[in-house]
Structure 1
Amino acid sequence: MSDVIVIGAGVVGAACAYYAAAAGMDVTVLDRGPVAGGTTGAGEGNVLVSDKEPGPELDLALLSNRLWRELAGHGGFEFEAKGGLVVAETEEIQRQLVALAGKQGVEHTVVPADRLRGYEPHLADDLAGGVYYPQDAQVQPMLAAAQLLRHGAESFGRGTLRLRTGVTVTGFLREDGPSEGGRVTGVRTDHGDIIGGAVVNAAGTWGGEIAAMAGVELPVLPRRGFILVTEPLAEPLIRHKVYTAAYVTNVASDSADLETSAVVEGTPAGSVLIGASRERVGFDRTTSIPVLRRLAAQATALFPVLRDKRVIRSYCGFRPYCPDHLPVIGEDPRVPGLLHACGHEGAGIGLAPATGYLLAQLLGGEGTDLDLTPFSPGRFA
């Protein structure tokens, strides 16, 4: 019997397991696929504060930013404290960016148009300015998830962490029987029943399906996005994470239609990652050539130097979208013993450590460092 069963071996599930094990709990992590085989493996690795409106998600992002930097001290995965540069195409957009940065209250530098090249020498010359956020960073998400699970398994001589991949959860065990009401006491899987004191739903985009097995609704929907990857470049051309102001607008949008914005950054391997697109088309993985063309056009408009570079591949993933753009974190008041850690949309990698840290506090019966009320699963009841 485990103290905690975590459903999902993506970066959020890995963070939940890591912090629970570090707190002395016995943890079992289940995933029907490999580690980071879902949304995590299709992410860029954003660790951002720059794209958050003032409020609970920004508070969560700031806590997570600190925790990522602590975790990076353990080593084993790529963490780049590169900073983020948000750029404006017009003077009016620049005024809006500066106003948002002032409301956020986080460390930033307003960058006039004539100083943009000091940050990014290869930027287009028709931009109106930008705002630089030194706290923005990037991790390699698959390595990060794997290392969190590995370090959690070491658990500093306290709890334990067991990882079981290739195991599909098919239902929940309850005090009054497999399909009755009462406290959750474990899960049913295609490899047999597993008993646990609590169950954490960290299934990402599939978190709504897991919740439905327990008889509750979580409106988590897939929001598809594509990323282009260039050939490895001989020398780094892009120093920071760079994106246009439209990215902030798209993150906050409720539209199901296609939305794209230029997001460009380099990697330690030399390739450049180009995004970002958003659209709600269910779990359709069909490659959309028009979307890829639009992303390429936006990237080369921002960095003309990329026009003669080759794209070697593209990939897509599904962000776990919630209608109010806040993740679902905490115990479900409708199902005692079931906790949720999903619905982070495109911010899951950045927000993973704080999510895991706060859930471990909750599981341990402690007060949490942040108020989890805005993220409560009960808000959908």
Structure 2
Amino acid sequence: MQSSDVVVVGAGIVGAAVARRLALGGFRVTVLDRGASAGGTSSSGEGNILVSDKGPGAELDLAVMSGRHWTALAEELPAELGSGFPDLEFEAKGGLVVATTAAGAKALLAFAATQRSVGVDARPVTAVEAAELEPDLTPHVAGAVFYPGDAQVQPTVATEALLASARRHGARVRQGVTVLGGIVSQGRLVGVETTAGRFSAEHTVVAAGPWSAEVAGRLGVRLPVLPRRGTVLVTARMPRRIRHKVYDADYVGAVESGDAALQTSSVVESTAAGTVLIGSSRERRGFDERIEAAVVGELAGKAMVLFPFLADVPVMRAYGGFRPFVPDHLPVIGPDPRLPGLWHATGHEGAGIGLAPGTAELIGALMTGAEPEIPAGPYAVTRSSLKEETNG
């Protein structure tokens, strides 16, 4: 039997961040993933680090804290890993949210006002100012808000960097290892049974993204995490013409919706490689991996509303992935009192890249008995808004 203080199930960006935080704190950590590191949700997103799409409440609190840690990580990881490691492509580019109708502008400005009431830098800008920020933006701007705090990172590289740092501090990462069940002694989870044998640990953290419910079920508890499908388009490379993360005001409503049906909204941004990423779709249809022409068409059409010049730019490819959806739209972070020794770090849906460092800080504080930077209660698996789902 292989022994650690902590087993982290999932080598995506949340699991990687948790592993690094715990390894830095002196824990002996083993990370297990049934596939490759960053092989699931973390490799199928846009690398968003956002405050602009979150209203006042626990998710915004976590996003603000995580943003501070991302700024620090953008300096710490390259310094630690050296110039030979790929660039994180961290860019504090800011976000511009645009409404093209009077009704959309009214809702957007009201939403921004609620954010400013809790300290978010949300700056209403005129159509003229929006055009100065984005010269190729549609002229049909009814209202816009600029968020200097929005940023972007290359998600696969960031995941691998966090794992590399964790390894430097003693963590072990095992790929191609599937968790089959739990090892329970006197009512406490003391390890996991896997396809590579037994791994004993005082703590087991489930950070398996949209597959977390499956893993938790094998360990003996119910966890209401469902896959929510998303699709992203990638254009051919071009000189950078889009300077910020730009999205239409409908995006916030799509993020907050629990509807299973297809929803699309326009999110457009350039990458360091010269491509343009176009999203975003949300749809609950299990683990169906098909990319559908109708979704691609909707995404392309809405992107051209914001940036008409994109009509002449070829789409190079489309890719999709599954995001871990929780019915009350909050991640599940912390210990599970139903099975002592079990912890959760999952349910971030499309915000996992941005929220990973804050999630890791919460886990690290709670596991050592320290005071978290923000209250941990809203993310507990025992919260009232999840009671029906967790009890089944």
1:135 match: 149
1:80 to 91, 105, 112: 91
2:71 match: 69
| 209-218 vs 223-232, which moves further | 209-218
The separation in 2 between residues aligned to 1:305 and 1:261, in whole angstroms, is 18
1:224 aligns with 2:229: yes
Question: Under a length normalisation based on structure 2, what TM-score does the superposition of the two structures give?
Answer: 0.93
8 A contact 2:233–2:278 mirrored in 1: yes
CA apart distance, 1:151: 1.1
2:107 to 91, 96, 104: 96
CA apart distance, 1:152: 1.6
1:12 match: 14
1:197 match: 202
1:342 match: 346
1:154 match: 168
The separation in 2 between residues aligned to 1:369 and 1:81, in whole angstroms, is 23
The letter of the residue matching 2:355 is: L
1:179 match: none
1:169 aligns with 2:174: no
8 A contact 2:115–2:122 mirrored in 1: no
1:163-213 CA distance string (max 9 Å, x none): 00011111111114xxxxx11101100010001110000000001111111
The letter of the residue matching 1:146 is: E
The separation in 1 between residues aligned to 2:31 and 2:221, in whole angstroms, is 22
8 A contact 1:124–1:302 mirrored in 2: yes
8 A contact 2:333–2:363 mirrored in 1: yes
8 A contact 2:109–2:143 mirrored in 1: no
1:367 to 365, 368, 371: 371
The letter of the residue matching 1:331 is: P
The letter of the residue matching 1:44 is: E
CA apart distance, 1:367: 2.0
8 A contact 1:174–1:183 mirrored in 2: yes
2:158 to 129, 137, 144: 144
1:212 to 208, 214, 217: 217
1:322-347 CA distance string (max 9 Å, x none): 00000000100101000000010111
1:28 match: 30
1:87-119 CA distance string (max 9 Å, x none): 011223222222211211201211112221101
1:116 aligns with 2:121: no
The separation in 2 between residues aligned to 1:204 and 1:312, in whole angstroms, is 27
SS at match of 1:194: strand
8 A contact 1:65–1:350 mirrored in 2: yes
The letter of the residue matching 2:322 is: F
The separation in 2 between residues aligned to 1:254 and 1:129, in whole angstroms, is 26
Unaligned runs of 5+ in 2: 79-86
The separation in 2 between residues aligned to 1:287 and 1:236, in whole angstroms, is 27
CA apart distance, 1:48: 0.2
8 A contact 1:114–1:129 mirrored in 2: no
The separation in 1 between residues aligned to 2:286 and 2:240, in whole angstroms, is 36
The letter of the residue matching 2:129 is: R
Question: Under a length normalisation based on structure 1, what TM-score does the superposition of the two structures give?
Answer: 0.96
1:356 match: 360
1:50-74 CA distance string (max 9 Å, x none): 0001011100000000000000002
1:301 to 298, 305, 309: 305
The separation in 2 between residues aligned to 1:342 and 1:374, in whole angstroms, is 14
The separation in 2 between residues aligned to 1:219 and 1:290, in whole angstroms, is 29
1:319 match: 323
SS at match of 2:224: coil
Identity of aligned residues (%): 53
The separation in 1 between residues aligned to 2:10 and 2:40, in whole angstroms, is 9
The separation in 1 between residues aligned to 2:380 and 2:216, in whole angstroms, is 14
The letter of the residue matching 1:148 is: L
8 A contact 2:95–2:148 mirrored in 1: yes
The separation in 1 between residues aligned to 2:381 and 2:223, in whole angstroms, is 7
The separation in 1 between residues aligned to 2:221 and 2:126, in whole angstroms, is 50
The separation in 2 between residues aligned to 1:100 and 1:368, in whole angstroms, is 28
The separation in 1 between residues aligned to 2:30 and 2:220, in whole angstroms, is 23
1:283 aligns with 2:287: yes
Q: What CA RMSD, in Å, does the superposition of the two structures yield over aligned residues? A: 0.9
2:382 to 372, 378, 381: 378
